[in-house]
Amino acid sequence: MLHFKRRNASLLCVIAALSISNLAISNLATAADAVPAAPLPPAAPAAQTPPPPPARGPSLALALEAAQTAVATCTANGYKTTASVVDSAGVVKVTLAADGASKRGVESSSAKAFTAVTFKTSSAAAGKKAEADPILLGLLNADPKHRPRAGALPLFVGNELVGAIGVGGAPGGDKDEACALAGIEKIKSRLQ
């Protein structure tokens, strides 16, 4: 019986100790809530990866001049076209639509230019390559960013691709491409 009483007394001591510690913790929590927290120092800015350098491309002034020349050339031939100039990453620098240009011409000019940049060749040559590969042709035709039809030419400085000009809206890609070529001829000696 003595052993049983000692054991119960030990358990009572443990229970009492736990109750006191819970009370102390509860009081500490209440006291901590009453004391205003000191402001934390500002967090150090997270290390950020610097953005990649901009893609190489014609200046805005040259892109605009090339587009104006392309549209003016097509307008002189009776076509209401749109010209788009993109940089080497396919980002549109400028899109210029003649008065009365169609929505389709506006959309196709940048898609043709993007195709020329992607393949580093004319959009017509990209189209011929795709015709020989039905899977590639299906992928290109399903992607609205690409238009593997005549009308866009790449812009090079030496052997380095710096962008492309695409024209859309004339009755036939060969006419679009002739206007794109006029735009390139106007600026090619000043491309850097």
Choose the weakest-confidence range: 40-44, 54-58, 95-99: 40-44
Q: Is 188 helix (H, G, I), strand (E, B) or coil?
A: helix
Q: Which helix (H) or strand (E) holds 74?
A: helix 60-76
List, for residues 126-152, the tens digit of each pLDDT value: 999 999 999 998 888 888 899 999 999
Q: Is 133 helix (H, G, I), strand (E, B) or coil?
A: coil
List, for residues 61-73, the tens digit of each pLDDT value: 999 999 999 999 9
Say if pTM beats, i.e. exceeds, 0.75. no
Distances (CA, A) of 96 to 36, 53, 72, 113, 148: 62, 26, 10, 13, 20
Contact 190, 62 (CB under 8 A): yes
Q: What angle do CA 112, 192, 151 make, to 5 degrees?
A: 15
